[in-house]
Amino acid sequence: MIKITFPDGAVKEAEKGISLYEVARGISEGLARNVLGAVVNGETKGLQETLEEDADVRFVRFEDPEGKAIFWHTSAHIMALAVQRLYPDVLFAIGPAIDDGFYYDFDTEHRFSPEDLEEIEEEMKKIVKENHELKRFEMQREDAIKRFEPMGEVYKVDLIEHFPEDEVISFYQLGEFVDLCRGPHLRDISKVKAIKLLSIAGAYWRGDEKNKMLQRIYGTTYEKAKDLEEHLRLLEEAKKRDHRKLGRELDLFSMHEEAPGFPFFHEKGMIIRNELEHFWRQKHKEAGYGEIRTPMILNEELWHQSGHWDHYKENMYFTTIDDEGYAIKPMNCPGSILVYKNSMYSYRDFPMRWAELGLVHRHELSGALHGLMRVRAFTQDDAHLFMTESMIKDEIKGVINLCDDIYKTFGFSYHMELSTRPENSMGEKEQWDYAESQLKEALEEMGREYILNEGDGAFYGPKIDFHLADAIGRTWQCGTVQLDFQMPERFDITYINEQGEKTRPVMVHRTVLGSMERFLGILIEQFAGKFPLWLAPEQVRVLPIAQRHHEAAGKLKERLAAEGFRVHLDSRSEKIGYKIREAQVQKIPYMLVIGDREIEEGIYAVRHFSVDEEGKNRQFSWSEKELMENLHEEINTKKFDAEV
């Protein structure tokens, strides 16, 4: 007999080898019908899998991330079977679940079209009605190669050959389709009721541009049609908010073939970026941080010492100076440590908080590059804190409060995830256990909820990550706070303690925005290009109706500029309706229409880019004094429109 422990603490005994489906059914028929799988001792499994030892079991539904992963992984196999039936010459690469669906990479002479996607969808629906069960079986490595090699499945053979020789490899069969796969999968594919294939893209095998370009089909599936409809609505909304599209339309930044992955910021983009940096500096000054700057290129030996050479070399760029090896920094921390080593400190100097807007370079595969979200050069809003062990929890709490303050300024909600010791970690387990306990206690003392990610910490320490939710519910990992006992050891940094002895400080690495580039991309999508007044590249546009109004409009523009507002006068001889529409397209927060009445009465017709319940721009009648006061207040309070 084995013991099964459930999240509520209940314990049940069962026969060894019992399936998870039988466990669920033993609780209730309704539970067995509605769950998709289970998390067993931290590992996600399908209902058809069995328990062979004592286990902690948590059943998952579609609402759970693990449930979605099972559902969408199975859907990828359903799509692969449909493609195999319709295009028998196809070769199969990989087909994982992703954040909002799944994809599969195919090698075929046929070029998939949008019309093909509709045909594949229909075939998928037929397969679902056939109600196949996914059957799992295992093979030795050599037997697996012998099975797939004669079939010409070069991608499966390539994957198999990278497994250790003595490893037993698992496969799943769905109808006549057999795939190399760890699982887990649905027990009952009839749950896949709503299907939509979304797009076709190119993808290099293993993400390497030297390999063959495959065809990737993206799709998503749901248990209910209404949930699929809502997802498709959000996808359309996401397209409208795409920062790459808005970046072009609003003239904020561009990307060029001459520098793939290296963004070019235009004048308007730099205004937003500079405002962000000013805000960041102001908040850090208030929180007791000083600012430093360290070089972009540092000697290769430093990266050996830091551990980045062993753990991060494949992501780094290198150069040679005076016949010596140097690296372009992928992270700022070693430079910050060199600043620390420049002086000797006492416990009285702690805590020390040094912030740095440091430009770093990391090699990303070309297929992974994505606008400002994934680039090869970016500015981390970094900081490194040095402290005694007794200060750890207070400093962690300080970072969390700073993040909370900054995120609320932009209207973001967020959740936190705590990641623990990974397999490739540096240092002793005891240090890691202590570091993890300090992060947990800081969170719990603040009453903060968090998700635990076992084994996902940085190679030098555990971390708390901040995942921001945007206006349409997507999440973005931005801030992080990492507790580090390893770098002080490796670089032999010390301070003088209360007993007058040299001892090691504790180091914290942290970011709030993550990177200026990515955060700007997120902001573009969060606000759909309609930036709060304090960030908007152009805050006010003055629109004279006719030539006779130009002089008064020009003087108003000068008075607004003298107050510090970013203002533009549209003096073109175009109709006022055309000027207004263009200002709306450019997402200018305030438009001032100047005509005879405005000049005579000194009351201005003010249009704001936000809309009322009828979908029309909000309008105000303000005197010049009211106009100036309202604009200043909106900028000073950093007010934003939550309905964009």
Catalytic residues: 333, 362, 380, 382, 384, 463, 509
Cα four-point dihedral sign 301, 302, 303, 306: positive
Q: How far is CA 77 from CA 37, 94, 136, 172, 180, in A?
A: 17, 10, 13, 9, 11
Q: CA angle, 208 as apex, 204 and 212 as ends, to 5°?
A: 40
d(CA 174, CA 136): 9
Q: Are 309 and 319 in contact (CB under 8 A)?
A: no
- The two beta strands, 506-511 and 475-484, are antiparallel
Inter-axis angle of helices 225-241 and 516-526, nearest 10 = 120
For 465, phi and psi rounded to 5 degrees? -110, 145
Structural tokens at position 206: 């293993």
- Helix, strand, coil: what percent of the chain each, to 5? 40, 30, 30
Q: Which residues contact 548 (CB under 8 A, 6 or more apart)?
A: none
CB-CB contact of 295 with 335 (8 Å): yes
Tell which residue, 566, 385, 579, 399, has the closest CA to residue 488: 385
How do beta strands 567-569 and 590-594 pair? Answer: unpaired
> b or e along 425-456 (b: 16 or more beta carbons within 10 Å of the residue's beta carbon)?
bbbeeebbeebbebbbebbeeeeeeeeeeeee
Calculated CA dihedral for residues 164, 166, 167, 172, nearest 10 degrees: 120
Q: Which residues pair with 173 in a beta bridge?
A: 135, 178
Cα-based angle 102, 187, 456 (whole degrees, multiple of 5)? 50
439 is written with which tokens?
């992060």
Tokens of 97: 């679940």
